[in-house]
Each structure stands twice: as C-alpha cells, then as structure tokens.
Amino acid sequence: MALTQVSSNKCAGGFQKVFEHDSTELKCKMKFAIYLPPKAETDKCPVLYWLSGLTCTEQNFITKAGSQLAAAEHGIIIVAPDTSPRGCNIEGEDESWDFGTGAGFYVNATQDPWKTNYRMYSYVTEELPKLINANFSTDPDRMSISGHSMGGHGALICALKNPGKYKVTSCRVCVRPHLRPVRLGGGSPSAYDATVLAASYSGPQLDILIDQGRDDQFLSASQLLPDNLIAVCSEKKIPVVFRLQPGYDHSYFFIYSFINDHIKHHAKYLNA
Amino acid sequence: MAHFLKPWSILSARSSRTEHADQCFQSQNCIRSPECFVQENFGRQEQHLEQHYNDVLQTLSQRYDDRETGLQEEKKSKLESLYKQLVACGQALDTSKELIETAQEVYRCQDERLFLKVAQLGLLRDFFFLEFAKEDIDLSLSTSLEFSTPLADLSDVKTMMDSINVVPAPSAPVINPQLPNSATQTSLHVCWSLFSDDTVEYYELYYRPVLEDTPADSTCVKVKETHCTVTDLLHNAQYELWVTATNTTGISPASEKALYMTVPSPPAIKQRECSSCPEAALIRWESGNTNPVDSYIVELSETGTVGAESNITESIVAVPTCQCLIQLQAGRQYLISVRAVNIGGPSDRSDAITISTTGTFFYLLEDTAHPCLSMSEDGFTIFYGDEELCVAILGDLIPVRGRHYWEVEVDDETEFRVGVAYEDTERDGYLGANGSSWCMRHIRTPSRHKYEFLHNGWSPDLRITVHPVRIGVALDYDRGTLSFFNANLEQHLHTFHCRFHNYVHPCFSLDNPGALTVHNGIQAPDYTFI
C-alpha cells in the first residue's frame, strides 16, 4: 500500500510525520500521525498505538499531548490514527458529535449503512500495524496500545480481545459505550464492552494503567463507570492501577499532565 | 717539689687518638670495619685507664699539697720561737752591758768618800746579783732543729693502685626502644647493650605494668644474653622495663627505664550492624580491648566466583573509630577483616565478614522497634500480635546516596505500612502521617483491599486490582524518587517525588496482627529504575 507523506516536522530530536493512504478496511483515504524517535534512524523500535477520543483527528494528540519528548527518551514510535473513516458520505454520519464521523468507537459495525466503512476495530488491530511494520523501522513483536476517552476504551477492548498482541495497555478515561455501539451495530453490547470482555479474559498477564480526572464532567454524569471495570478486574486478577487525579478534567491538559507516566509504563515492557 | 705527671698530657694524647677513631668511623660511612672496632675498644680501654690513673694522681697530688703545707707551718713556728729566744737573749745582754758600764764608772770615780758610801751600803754587790740573777738566761735552744716526718698515710692510694688491676663493676646498660613488630599480644622482646667494654656475668631485667594509680610490683628475669622475651603479659598494655648488669665486683646502676607496649587483641566485627549497597559497605566493630588503641586497619579481599580466598587486595590504615565506609565494586563478593593497632604493632586479624555487593543489604534496627513488635531469629521477619496501630521498626540502610532496592513479603490479610523515614521521624507517630516519612499502606476491609501512599497525611486516590504479596521498594536519592512495585507482576504501583535532604531509613510497620518479611541483597530489576 502506498503511503503519502502529508507533513513532517522535526521534534524532540526525531520527526513528527503525518501520512495518508487508501485503507482497505475502511474503503477511504485515511490519515495517521507517526512520531519517529532519534533511535529509529539506527534501530528497530517498539510501537505504541494511541487512540484518540470523540471528535478528534490525527492532529489533536500530536499537537496537544506533549508526548514526543518522552517517546524520544524511551525510543518508542507512536502511531496515532484518525478516529473514524472520513468522506464516506454516509447519511447521518455528521449528525451528532458522539456518533459517526469522529466517533468510530473502534468497533466493526455490523449494521447497514455503517458496516462497509465503519471497521475501526479491524483497521486498528490488523491493517494499520501491517502498514506500519512494512514501512517503518519497527520491531513487530513489541506493540502496545493506549488511548483517551473513547480511545481509552478502544485500547482496552483491543487488548482484551487480542490476548498477547499488546504488551501493555493504558488509557486515560474509559468511556462506557452505552448506546453507540449498539447503533453502529457492533453485535451485542458485550462484544465491545471492556467490562464484559475483562470478565471473560484469559490470556497472558496484562498490566493496565488508568488515569481518571476527578473533575471530569463525564465522570460525574455517570457516562464513565470505572468502578464496574475495577471490580471485574479485581475479581479476575487482571492487574490494574487506577488513579483518580484530583482537579483534572477531561481535556488534553489532563492528557498532557500524565502522558510521561503512561509512556514510561509502556517503555517498561516495550524496552525490556 | 717533685714533678708529678700532670694529667694534661695524657688527655691531649688521648683526644688525638679518639679524634682519629671518630674520623675513621665516619670516613667508613658507618660501616664498622675491624679497625674501627679496635679503635673504639682501644678508646674505651684508654678511657678507663685514664680515669683510674687520674684518680690516683689526684689523690697523690692532694697528699703532697697537704704534706707540704704541714712542713711549711712547722718551719714557720720553729723560726718564730728561735727568733723570740734570740730577742730575749739580746735584751739580757743589753741589760748586763749597762750594769757593767755603771759599775766601771763607779770604780773610776776619784771620790773615795762616794765609793765608800756605796761600798758601805753593800748595794753594788746586791745590785749586781739582783740584776744578773734576774733571769736565768737559758742558752739552750727553745726548739729542736730537726723536723718531724710523720709517716704519710697512703693506704688509700695503695688501694686505688691495686684496684686498677681489678675488674670494675659494670656501668649501666643501655636499654633499646621498642622495635616495631617485636611484640605480641602477651609478650615483648627487649634488647639492650653495654655502654663500655665491661665484663658482665649476667643481666637482670626488671619489668612491671604501668598502672594508673599505685605502681605495680616488678618482676625480675635473669639472663645471660643482651635480649630477652618476656611472656605472660596483658594485651594492649604498657610496661616499664629496666636492666642491670652484674659481675664479680658488683652490680651496675640501673639502665634508664624504657616503655614498651604489647599488641592489642583483635577486634570483633558486629555482623548485625553492617550494611552494604552495590557501591559500598559500612562495617562496624567492637574494639576488643578495654583500653583505647591508636587506630584500626581494615583489610579486604575479593573472593573468586568459586569462593576461594585470594590475597588481601586492599588495606585501609589509620581508621580512627570503630566503623569504616568502604567503596567497593558492584556485583562482587568480599571478605573483610579488621586489626587494632597501637605502638606495639597490629593485632591479629578479626574474624572476617562476607559482603556481597549485589543489591542493597541491611538489617532491621532492633532498638527502633516498637515494644510490641517481635523479630525472627535471622532478623528479617517482624511479628505483631495485638490491635494497636502502627508498631514500627527501621532498617539500617547504608548512608550512601544512589539507588537502593529491597522487597517486602506480605500476606493477604496483614495491614502494613512500608516505605522510608528520616532517622528523627516521630517514633510515636504513624508512618506517612508526617513530613518525615513516606509509605505504602494496606488496609483490609471485609470486601476488598485498600491502598494508600502516604506522606504528610495525604494519599492519592487509587485502586489496585491485584493485591501485591511481594512489594518492591526502589529508592533513588539522586532523582528524588521512592517507587513501589508489585514485584511478582513487575507492575508499577506508585512513585513519590521528593528531594531527600538527609539519609533515610527503610521503615516497616504492622497495623494489625500479622507478619512481614524483608528481603534484600537483591539486584534491582531493570524496570525499577527506568
């Protein structure tokens, strides 16, 4: 598959680039951002996949999160895809901010008219890694996944549904996907519900770090339900450290504040 | 007067000869050739001879002076008495002469009547008799013309002359100062020499310990040689020694007193007070001697991987106190021992201690333990059986900045606090409740586990889904971090960021009945210090 470089900026000693390609899963042109640390010039580096939240594109994370310094320090490639297929001209895709465009939920839709294009789960777990490994200096055995909000939940489900694929996972905020995936038709709610997936997980040991802003408006609105997840993980002995950060909200300011901890969390396994 | 040979000429002759001996001695650059020995011995002999003869001469000279003075005085008194006699005779003669002239004058007188008058009176006759009979002119000499010559008493001179041929009593020997490495813990090797070429039958060496108040009794040893090894002494003790030389004539005066010291007893390393980390070890020991010693020597050798002892690779000398912080290399094993040193020399080596520089190693400080806490035999597990909160104990972490790692083994039910604290942290307080301690706290509720990471009484809000039974604690002084891990899962739990302004001690406490065990001397896993 051909990659077209859209932009390249030197950053923290490495390069922050954006590429475009024709996606076979999503049947449209997709962009993704990739940060190449200085180490990538000489060695194969592990890859951290970052899944952004609702309404984001590949730009938000690379311009607001401040991840490049830590990535350079630990020698990790960070790939940040877009959050949904674009320009597919599906009816209703732009109607609401939390559904359709910019809200792919990282699931494979099973209902029409979404199921042709909205296959973010396969894109993220299958197509994108193959593309990255083929075109960049990567170590294909060292992969991990992280995300924020919708992306945080997406990271969890990718890891839980693919035991052994991701060395470690972390997220800021895991949105409990209430109704959306049902509308996308991602099968039964449990198929892409992190809490449910955790309950039935069996596979190599995970190590999950979750940060949640205490002043996150979604938390107070009960749209995020970390307690359920924690209870299940405790039950199933899935190692999770869940941190409630006082004063922090849902924004990229919150992501920025803890990105170093998360990258260090990933580096522990990716560089072991 | 007789000419007595004055000593001056002997002196001058001798001094020239001694000078020659000195020059010979020096010119040979202190290599003592037989010539020099002969010259020296000759000098000594001559000195002895000169001394003796000088004494004799001086005595004789003194006698001569005395005798001469006596004679002079006798002469003077004889002359005086003779002179007196002469004067008296002269006066008598003069008186007689006057009388005779008077009588002649009267006889020549023409006046017969006057003559008759005088004659009638018969005065003349009386006058002459009276005058002449006045004195019995003694014409014998008042003194004898001979001088008395009493026998001179020269018996002592004779004795002195005789004693020249007799061997003198020896002169005081010279006792040597203590030679290095000549003493042991219980014995001293003493040497002395003779000042002159005396004949000596035997020596007597006296010694006694130097005590603070009353002087001790001395012991005497009789030897024929000029050295002696005195045994059965106290260790690390000062002794006073002196020696006399004896021959048929008598005993010499005592030599000067010399002070010797026996070597100290070896120290004893205090195993439970030693600690180490990859770069260093802190060794503490007991002196092993009641009295102070001058210093200590710490010796270390690296043991091979097989465990065979290699030679001493390093010695640290002049250690002033009973502890030493030694820089070492990481990942090795060492044998360390200590010696005590005083003027007498070094003691035997203490029993060695094995130090491994893999990871950080420390014992728990028993005297910091809460009275309700009990400790296992090996000193690494603490037990508690009551309901009081926070019975704690500190660990003896080596005071070296850098990285340290240790693990704590706990069970599912025990409520504990583990972390670090400054040495002066409130012993009555709760770990983590103040600004001088940091800890991870486990609270057990019927339904779940709760965790706090406390400092200044504040903890972040977090959940941990898998209860850690083996907690890794990683301290990094330079970065100012204290991290906690689930060591079994290699899972990071929490990190405190703090600039430690002083050294800290690992701290452990139990909040409910239970136990925990400390494991250290473990190489820190890579993930602990990313």
Answer whether residue A175 shows pLDDT above 60: no
Region B312-333 average pLDDT: 92
Least Cα separation, residue A68 to chain B (angstroms): 17
Partner residue facing B464 (CB), from A214, A241, A268: A241
pLDDT tens sequence across B51-76: 878 888 888 888 889 888 988 998 89
Asked if B493's CB is within 8 angstroms of A267's CB, the reply is no
pLDDT reported for residue B49? 75
pLDDT the model gives residue B468: 96
User: pLDDT tens across B188-200, in order?
Assistant: 999 999 877 778 8
Question: Please, is A142 exposed, middle or buried when counting C-beta atoms within 10 Å of its C-beta (0-12, 13-18, 19+)?
Answer: buried
Show residues of chain A in contact with B463, CB under 8 Å.
230, 234, 240-242
Predicted confidence band at A109 (pLDDT cuts at 50, 70, 90)?
A: confident
Return the pLDDT at A174: 56
pLDDT (tens digit per residue) in B205-259: 999 999 888 888 889 999 999 999 999 999 999 999 999 999 888 888 899 999 9
Cβ neighbours of B526 in A, within 8 Å: 272
Asked if A201 has any chain B CB less than 8 Å from its own CB, the reply is no
Measured between CA atoms, how close is B508 to chain A, in angstroms?
23
Q: Name the closest residue on chain B to residue A230, using Cα atoms.
A: B465
Phi, psi of A67 (to 5 degrees): -90, -15
* Residue A121 pLDDT exceeds 70: yes
List of residues 6+ apart from B203 with CB closer than 8 A:
B173, B192, B222, B223, B224, B225, B226, B228, B243, B244, B245, B246
Q: Which chain B residue has its CA at the smallest distance from A229's CA? A: B465
Best-predicted range by mean pLDDT among A16-20, A211-215, B88-92?
A: A16-20
Helix (H) or strand (E) holding B339: strand B333-342
Top mean pLDDT of A111-120, A216-225, B398-407 is at B398-407
Contacts of B460 in chain A (CB under 8 A): 243-245
pLDDT of residue B42: 62
B473/B492 Cα distance (integer angstroms): 10
Interface test mutation site (partner B, options A208, A265, A268, A271, max chain B beta carbons within 10 A): A268
CB contact under 8 A, A243 and B466: no
Q: Which of A153, A250, A262, A265 is catalytic?
A: A250
Task: Look at A113-117, A241-245, B496-500 and tell me which has the smallest mean pLDDT.
Answer: A113-117
Among A52, A67, A149, A257, the one annotated catalytic: A149
CATH architecture of the domain B174-261 equals Sandwich (2.60)
Cβ atoms of A73 and A45 closer than 8 Å: no
The answer on pLDDT for A206 being more than 70 is: yes
pLDDT exceeds 50 at position B21: yes
Q: Do A268 and B448 touch (CB under 8 A)?
A: no
Please tell me the distance in Å from A90's CA to the nearest CA on chain B. 42
Architecture of domain B268-356: Sandwich (2.60)
- The answer to whether the CB of A207 falls within 8 A of the CB of B491 is yes
Q: Do B462 and A242 touch (CB under 8 A)?
A: yes
Average pLDDT score over chain B: 84
pLDDT category of residue A173 using cuts at 50, 70 and 90: low
Topology alike, domains B268-356 and B366-529: no
Average pLDDT over residues B263-290: 95
Question: Which class for B75: exposed (0-12), middle (13-18), buried (19 or more C-beta within 10 A)?
Answer: exposed
The pLDDT of residue B20: 54
For chain A, say whether B20 makes contact (Cβ under 8 Å).
no
- Quote the minimal CA–CA distance from B528 to chain A in Å: 9
Residue A14 has pLDDT above 80, yes or no: yes
**Alpha-carbon distance B164 to B414, whole Å?**
101
Evaluate whether the domain defined by A4-271 bears CATH number 3.40.50.1820: yes
**In the predicted model, is pLDDT for residue A272 greater than 50?**
yes
Confirm or reject contact between B187 and chain A (CB < 8 A).
no
User: Which is higher by pLDDT, B35 or B235?
Assistant: B235
pTM for the whole thing? 0.73
Listed by start position, the domains of chain B span 12-163, 174-261, 268-356, 366-529
Cα–Cα distances in Å, from A179 out to A82, A96, A192, A223? Answer: 21, 13, 11, 11
Q: Say whether residue B464 is in contact with chain A using an 8 A CB cutoff.
A: yes
pLDDT in tens, B430-464: 999 999 999 999 999 988 899 999 999 999 999 99
Q: Does residue A153 have an active-site annotation?
A: no
> Which of B460, B466, B526 has its CB closest to that of A243?
B460
Assigned CATH topology for domain B366-529: Jelly Rolls (2.60.120)
Q: What angle do CA B345, B349, B350 make, to 5 degrees?
A: 125
Give me the sign of the Cα torsion angle B158, B163, B164, B166. positive
Q: Does B527 touch chain A (CB under 8 A)?
A: yes
What burial letters (b/e) apply to A84-116, b meaning 16+ CB within 10 Å? bbbebebeebeeeebbbbbbbbbbbbbeeebee
Contacts 24+ apart (CB under 8 A), B287-292: B287/B322, B287/B340, B288/B264, B288/B340, B288/B347, B288/B350, B289/B235, B289/B236, B289/B264, B289/B265, B289/B340, B290/B236, B291/B236, B291/B237
Listed ranges A28-42, A229-243, B10-24; the one with the highest mean pLDDT: A28-42
Instruction: Count chain A–chain B contacts defined by CB atoms under 8 A.
Output: 57
Which chain A residues have a beta carbon less than 8 Å from that of B490?
A: 207, 268
Q: Residue B484: what pLDDT?
A: 97
Whether B486 and chain A come into contact, CB under 8 Å, resolves to yes
Is 60 exceeded by the pLDDT of residue B341? yes
Helices B112-121 and B123-133, axial angle in degrees (round to 10): 60
| Selection from A119-123, B50-54, B144-148 with the highest mean pLDDT | A119-123
State the average pLDDT over residues B346-351.
Answer: 93
- Exposed/middle/buried for residue A70 (C-beta within 10 Å: 0-12, 13-18, 19+): buried
A206/B contact by beta carbon, under 8 A: no
Res B14: pLDDT: 46
Whether A250 is catalytic is yes
Reported as a pLDDT band with limits 50, 70 and 90, residue B96 is: confident
- Give the pLDDT confidence of B151-175 residue by residue, as tens digits: 767 777 777 777 666 677 788 899 9
Mutate which: B444, B448, B466, B527, vs A, most A CBs within 10 A = B466
CA dist A98 and A118 (Å) reads: 14
Determine whether A207 is an active site residue: no
CB-nearest to A265 from B462, B489, B492 is B492
pLDDT in tens, A67-107: 999 999 999 999 999 999 988 888 887 877 777 788 888 88
Mean pLDDT of A126-148: 94
Going by pLDDT thresholds of 50, 70 and 90, the confidence category of residue A177 is: very low
Is the pLDDT at A265 greater than 80, yes or no? Answer: yes
- pLDDT tens digits, B490-515: 999 999 999 999 999 999 999 888 99
Residues of B in contact with A214 (CB under 8 A): 461
Q: Between chains, do A230 and B463 touch, taking CB under 8 Å as contact?
A: yes
For chain A, the maximum distance between any two Cα atoms, rounded to a whole number of angstroms, is 48
Task: Select the residue of A230, A271, A272 nearest B465 (Cβ to Cβ).
Answer: A230
Q: A59: burial class by Cβ within 10 Å (0-12, 13-18, 19+)?
A: middle
The pLDDT of residue B2: 41
Tell me: pLDDT of A190 over 80.
Answer: no
- Please indicate whether residue B276 or residue A220 has the higher confidence score (pLDDT): B276
> Taking residues A168-194, what's their average pLDDT?
61
B375-426 pLDDT, tens digit per residue, is 999 999 999 877 666 789 999 999 999 999 999 999 999 999 999 999 999 8
Contact A246 B461 (CB under 8 A): yes
Return the residue of A nearest to B449 by Cα.
Answer: A234
**Residue B7's pLDDT is what?**
43
Enumerate the residues of chain B whose CB falls inside 8 A of the CB of residue A169: none
**Nearest by Cα to A105 from A141, A143, A70, A155:** A155
Shortest Cα–Cα distance, A73 to chain B (Å):
11
Query: What is the C-alpha to C-alpha distance for residues A171 and B411, in angstroms, rounded to an integer?
Result: 30
Decide if pLDDT at A229 tops 50: yes
Residue pair A263/A169 in contact (Cβ under 8 Å)? The answer is no
Chain A residues with CB under 8 Å of B466 CB are 234, 237-240
- Report DSSP state, residue B458: B
Chain B interface includes A215 (CB < 8 A): no
pLDDT score at A195: 86
- pLDDT tens digits, B108-133: 776 677 667 766 666 656 666 665 55
Q: Distance, in angstroms, between B444 CA and closest chain A CA? A: 14
